[in-house]
Each structure stands twice: as C-alpha cells, then as structure tokens.
Structure 1
C-alpha cells in the first residue's frame, strides 16, 4: 500500500512542479509573455493548498482509493489540456485550476490516512517515506522535464508526468484498498484483523 501511495504522490507532485520549468519554452513556442504563462502558477499553488482541508475530510469519508482515483482523473485532464494548450484560457484551466485541485486532493492527506489505517507501528516512518515522495517527484522530474523540453519540446516534457500519472492511478485503483480489513489482513503490528 505504501509503495502504491508513494508512486501516486510522486507523479502528482511532479505534475505540480514540472510546468514551472517549462515557462520559457512555452513562452517561445506559444508567443505569449513569461508573465502570461507564469500567472496560472500562482493559482495552481493557491488551489493546491486551499483544497487540502476539504480533501482531508473527503478522504476520511470516501477513502483513499476513491480520492486517489478522483484526484488522478482531475490531474490527468489538467495535464492533457496543458499539453494541447493553444489559447490562454486552456492554460488557466489546465495548469492553473485542474493541476492545483487534482494533486491537492491527495498530496498532504494520503500519507496520514494510509499510516493510520494500515499501521499500528512505524506510522512516523510511513508518513516520512510518503512525504519524501513530494520531494522526490520534484527532484527527479523537474530536471528531466527541462532536458526533454530542450530536446523534444515542452509538450513532450508534459507527457512524462501524464503517462506516469495514468499508470500510477490505474495501479492504485486496481491494487490498493482503503483498509486492511477489506482484504482480511491485520494492520502492521497487530495479530488480528479489525482491532483498529
């Protein structure tokens, strides 16, 4: 479960960070000013943070599986709109709104929900590992996106988090469960199912 959640968070945060390194190539390709392309970044970051409190309650009510699925759908739609941007409003909807809300639905809450539901022991370690996914996604994918953008263009660079997000969401939805009781196993550190 931790590996699936890590992989999901890795690509979600990559989707938030990657557009930042593509501002100059996008400006050159689309003929828009850097300010016009960078402006949706502020909206993206604001929505990423503002969606967290609501997403936490939704995750407790509907579970990680549904919320990661919803987050992934919103995120992937935002990435696809961003890849095919030809109008400024595409940028605001794709990179601004959807890439802010999509990752914000799971990024900060997923680690604590997985840790509390699946682990009786080592919850801090689990939260630390999953929080590391946010830094790892940025560390790996921002330089990779910059290189791919230089070689093949910014649209190709945006395809990397898109493909990764599709794969991670499918894997999470197929193999992750909201609680260990759903598959009749105890939480780590317990000997019987359903003690939580």
Structure 2
C-alpha cells in the first residue's frame, strides 16, 4: 500500500517516483564508492596490496555492469519493485557482513561478488526503465537527472565515508553503507508502483495508455535482444564509447583519485572533497546534458564530452596538484562525468525502440562497467609495478579521444537498429 494516493497527483505522480528512485540511486551509488575509500585503510589494517583491493573493486564493477541487462529483463518479468527491493536487501546484507571480514576472499565475496550483483539492478538500467515507463515528455531531461544521481551519490558520499575511515577505521564505513541501503527499502516499497497503469495513471505527457507487449523470460529476453542489437554497427559504436566512459570515470577517477592524491601527500578527506565537488557539478552537468539532448544532435554532444574528458585526463598528472589546479579539474570533470548517458540512451532508443531500449541500454551499460572494471584493476596493477599513475592517466586520456571519434560515426533513427 502506497503512503500517498497517486491519483491525487495525476500524471505529476511521475515526479514522486523519480524523486524516490533518485534517492535510491544516490544511496546505491554511494555504496559503490566505498571501495575507493577502503583501499588505504585496508592496506594499513590487514597489509593487503593495492592490487588485491583493486581486484575486489574491479569484480564488483564488472558484475555491476553484467547484471544490468538481465536486471532490465527481470523488471519486465518478475517486476520492478521486487527486483529493486531484493537488490537493496542483498547490498545492505553484504555490506553488514563485511564488517567481520578478515581474509582477502571475504572482501572479494562481499564487496566484489554480492555487492556487484545487487548494485547491477540499482543502476542505469533502473533509471532507463523508470523513464521509459513513466514519461513520454521530457524523457532525456529526466534521464539526465537520474543519471546524475548515480554519479553524484558516488562522489558526495565519499567525504563522509573518508571521514569515517580516518576517524574510526574501515568498519564504520561498511556499517554506514549497510544502514543507508536498508533505509531505502521502505522508500521504494511505499512510493514506487510497478508502472503507471498499476495505480490508474498514464505516463507523464501521454494521452493514451501504452500497449504492453508480452515479455519473454529473463534470460531469453536479455540474450535475444542482445543478438538482435549485436547485428548492428550502432550497437557496437555505443558499446565501445560507453566502455571508454566507464574506463575514464568510476573505474579510474572514482576508484583511484584518492589513492593518487595520497601519493602526492594530499589527505584522504581533502581528496574526497574533490570528488564531492565533482558530484555537485555532475548533477548540474548531466541534467543540463539531458536538456541539450532533447534539442541537439546527441552525436555532437558525445564528441564534445569525450574529447574534453580525454584532454583533461592527460593534463592531470602534469599539473602541480595545487588547490587551484585540482579545483579546476574537479569542476570541469564533474560537469563532464556522466553527461554522456542522456545522449547515449537517446541514440539507443531511436535505434532499437522503446520496448527493447532499456535492455539494449543494459548491455551498453555492461560495456561501461567492463571498462570501469578494467581501469580499476589496471590502475592498481600499474601503480604497483611502476610506482605511479602516469601511464594509466595518459592511456585513459587517449581512449577519451578515440571515443570522440567513434561518436560521430553512430547512425541515427530506426535504420540504425537495422542489421548492418
């Protein structure tokens, strides 16, 4: 039973749903940011190497992405509410149990496997499903807002988690994450219906009820949609650019920036503050990107985002790491952090249709997390072998420039989803 009466709001209840999902994505993304804070405390407490903690983060990020398309299909079969509630419970439980870990495999199982599986259902595919179910008008704007929450949660939670780790060690961090995730369960239960028709409403901006096509089982729907999409060039261009998006954001900067700043003598709380600044400006940048995507060619926007991101990553290791240079980087990179998502979803929806788009986008998002997982592990391995992050940042910056070139090669419209 919902705590409010949706029909009293009419179509505007879509914004109540968006607010609840915004908070849910914020909390889940904050949980995904915890491994970046735990790297140094776990090294100090257990003596685990950088590559060990980076491996756990990489596994979590990888599963986070791979679960996405199956979670999108599961939302169509088992139901959105059940899927999200189950994922939040799994993430909260795995974080709580990790407070008792004492071996590296405990870290990998809790923060790698279980957290990755749960967070994959509370991620971009959830945002795409909510937007496509509840909105006909302003879809890109709402997708930009929900996307911003995933990155903003990652970055805004970091200063608090860093302060907890600095004052009380790693255990208060995992306990805090478990409590925040548990608190979101009643929010989803009370405020998020399965779909507008379940509470007698139409999607925002719709004049007639959408026709719901029958859905296949979870696995067959996810794999079948992938087979159809994989026959097109547009899918692979979108997959490749989003792989690079993950490689250059939460995989590298989100996981290793605090450790990089630590190598330069900058305290963890101050470094986490930089990520918080990125989170604040990401909320502005990604929401603005959604507004721009409703009005301009999304391919040109992607070209601009990736090119500027690549150049900024190449610049960072050569900066003086002063307060001024880091602040400029944080503001600029925050505006560009996940601004790529609204135009990417727009291109996927145009190419593959509204019904298949969330699942196709789930596979594209899996590419994002594959890239992020690669950067999370490779960054730690290169740091251990070379003693610094220079090579990793130059490599990441170069991939950003490659993604800019690929962006302008993507075709638009339904013909883009036809077999090449």
* Number of residue pairs the alignment of both structures matches: 195
Alignment of 1:123 with 2:139, yes or no, is yes
Aligned to 1:159: 175
* Partner Cα distance (1:6, 1:140) in 2: 14
* Partner Cα distance (1:87, 1:77) in 2: 18
* Partner Cα distance (2:166, 2:61) in 1: 25
- Higher relative contact order (Cα pairs below 8 Å, separated by 6+ residues): 1
- CA displacement, residues 56-75 of structure 1 (integer Å, 9 cap, x when unaligned): 21122223211111211221
- The correspondence of residues 64-79 of structure 1 with structure 2, limited to 5 A, is 64-79=80-95
Aligned to 2:152: 136
In the alignment, is the contact (CA less than 8 A) between 2:93 and 2:178 conserved in 1?
A: no
- The correspondence of residues 17-166 of structure 1 with structure 2, limited to 5 A, is 17-166=33-182
In the alignment, is the contact (CA less than 8 A) between 2:164 and 2:170 conserved in 1?
A: yes
In the alignment, is the contact (CA less than 8 A) between 1:71 and 1:106 conserved in 2?
A: yes
Please, what TM-score do these two structures have when normalized by structure 1?
A: 0.91
Aligned to 1:177: 193
- CA displacement, residues 152-191 of structure 1 (integer Å, 9 cap, x when unaligned): 2211122222211111122102221111121222221235
SS at match of 2:78: helix
Deviation of residue 88 (structure 1)?
2.3
- CA displacement, residues 91-127 of structure 1 (integer Å, 9 cap, x when unaligned): 1110110111111123021111111111121111111
Please, what TM-score do these two structures have when normalized by structure 2?
A: 0.44
* Partner Cα distance (1:83, 1:37) in 2: 15
* Partner Cα distance (2:26, 2:182) in 1: 12
Instruction: Name the larger-Rg structure.
Output: 2
Runs (5+) with no aligned partner, structure 2: 1-16, 212-420
- CA displacement, residues 25-74 of structure 1 (integer Å, 9 cap, x when unaligned): 11212233333333211111111111112112112222321111121122
Aligned to 2:203: 187
* Partner Cα distance (1:173, 1:126) in 2: 21
